[in-house]
Amino acid sequence: MRRVEWTDAGDLPRATRRFSTGSLYHWSLVGFLLVTLPLVMALISGLLAVSEYTEKSQQALFQTVRATEGGRTLLERLVSMERGIRQFQILQDPELLSVYRLHHNAFVEVAQGLRFDDLSKDLRIPLEGLVAAEQGLFQHIQEKIGKARTSLTTDDLQGYVTLTLQARALLQTGGKQVGIEAEALSREASRVRGSMLRWAILALPLALVLGLLFVYLLTRPIRHIERVISELGAGRFDQPVEIRGPSDLEALGHHLDWLRQRLRALEGEKQQFIRNISHELKTPLATLREGADLLEDEVVGELNPEQREIVQLMTIGTLQLNGLVENLLEFQRLANQRTLAEPSEFEWAQLLRKLLDDYRLLLKSKQLQIVDNLMTVTIQGDREAIRMALGNLLNNAIKFSPEGGRIRLSLSVEQGMGSFLIEDQGEGISMQDQPYVFEEFYQGTSSGRSSVKGSGLGLALVHDTVLRHRGGISLLPATEAYPGARICMELPLGPDRLPGAIT
């Protein structure tokens, strides 16, 4: 957790660490270790299994082959011993007896070099029997030779024939044992492969699940930050910002919360300024308009044509300035009010004609002709908000229309929606301006022919009013008769289409 302190320099948050959940670097490192851990375990298990299999195969196969080779050597020594003792029996040459004893010693040496404990039972018992029988036969022959005038019998020599047959049988058994060991190693290899495959099948999904879990835990605070930034960009400053996750992202959350509070304070200051300046302008504008009306009515005396023209210009200017102030007040009201006013029923065409009467001086000053194509349409909604929207559309059409041009107003009903279309013969809205004309404070590349510059709130308020009534507004392509702006506003006719609040 972190505790936020506020410094004196611009209320910038300073986070003091009480408990650290780790930085983004630490999270990434831990996530990498968690994801790779199952794979590493599978690899280590496979290496251990392969190592064990290799050691076992080398030991078993080596001992079996060694025993087989030892049995072959023993057979050769037995054959040599039999040949030597037979020659000695015939020739009675002491050197032949010495050769016989040398072969016996070699036989014993080979037998002692064999590790009987590591051999299988099928090889160990025959080998032990062969060595013991040879030792017994050798001692028997030595005893007979040691006695004077005692010769060896055929039965004595037949013992080596028997031993030779046993040695040959041992070789065959060794060959079979090599095959058995090879088959057992093959089965062991299959078992090791199966074990490694099972580890891989287990490790890969586990690593994937851990990876997805880590990505979710890492991206969740980032997505939260994205939502917070979107909310701040949309002007929603009410909810505190609290980010859970790595310590550096939590610190970023504290800075975003500080930014939220600063923006909320600035928004409040902006609204307060707009409210104050609008009300401050209302009183002198009303006085100026009243004075212009008195002069136009010639209360203080008859006016000459030049004076009357000046008075008309004053009246037009006050009307335009009053429209700007009303837009500021409406903008401030809508920014602090998320619900519509109580819907009231009124006649749409009548409201339009009353607006035209308010703008008669502007229309007359530019010698504009109004083409009235208004059918009787009764609508329920926020009358004042709709009046402001229609007034802004009409004011824009007048502002951008050329001297002596035409403005066409059309009102109809289509599929339960009231449709209002206003068309002028002005410059129109350029393609580069069309995506932004309904944004707040956007004024475009053309300022019209009016000496009073707009605030950029008119069409934004129109758009906001239409959305609050669950209607629609669109820009239509220019026509030959009306090459300027063509704006269509659609509003639902009944209260069943009006929401109580805009969220």
Q: Could you tell me the mean pLDDT of each successive run of 10 residues in the chain, 503 residues long? A: 40 45 72 74 73 66 67 79 79 80 82 66 73 81 70 74 78 71 72 75 78 78 84 78 79 85 80 68 68 69 74 70 66 58 84 86 83 88 87 87 90 88 88 81 60 65 87 90 91 61 35
- Direct distance between the N- and C-terminal alpha carbons of the chain, in angstroms, rounded to an integer: 33
Q: Are 489 and 466 in contact (CB under 8 A)?
A: yes
* Predicted local confidence at residue 391, as pLDDT: 86
Q: Say how many C-beta atoms besides its own lie within 10 A of residue 37's C-beta.
A: 14
C-alpha closest to that of 498 among 415, 380, 388: 380
pLDDT score of 407 = 92
Cα–Cα distance, 321 to 237 (Å, whole number): 32
CA dist., res. 6 & res. 3, Å (int): 10
390 three-class SS:
helix
Question: Is residue 323 a contact partner of residue 346, using CB atoms and an 8 Å limit?
Answer: no
Residue 361 CA, distance from chain mean position? 60
Task: Check if the beta carbon of residue 390 is closer than 8 Å to that of residue 352.
Answer: yes
Reference 381, options 498, 490, 462; nearest CA is 498
DSSP 3-state percent helix, strand, coil across the chain (nearest 5): 65, 10, 25
Residue that the structure tokens 């403005």 belong to: 407
Asked if 76 and 154 count as a contact pair (C-beta separation under 8 A), the reply is: no
The residues with which 424 forms a beta bridge, in sequence order, are 407
**CA angle at residue 424 from 413 to 400, to 5 degrees?**
135
Helix/strand/coil (H/E/C) assignment for every residue in 255-277: HHHHHHHHHHHHHHHHHHHHHHH
Instruction: Give the pLDDT score at 209.
Output: 78
Instruction: Please enumerate in sequence order all residues whose Cβ is within 8 A of that of 30, keeping only pairs 6 or more positions apart, or say none.
Output: 22
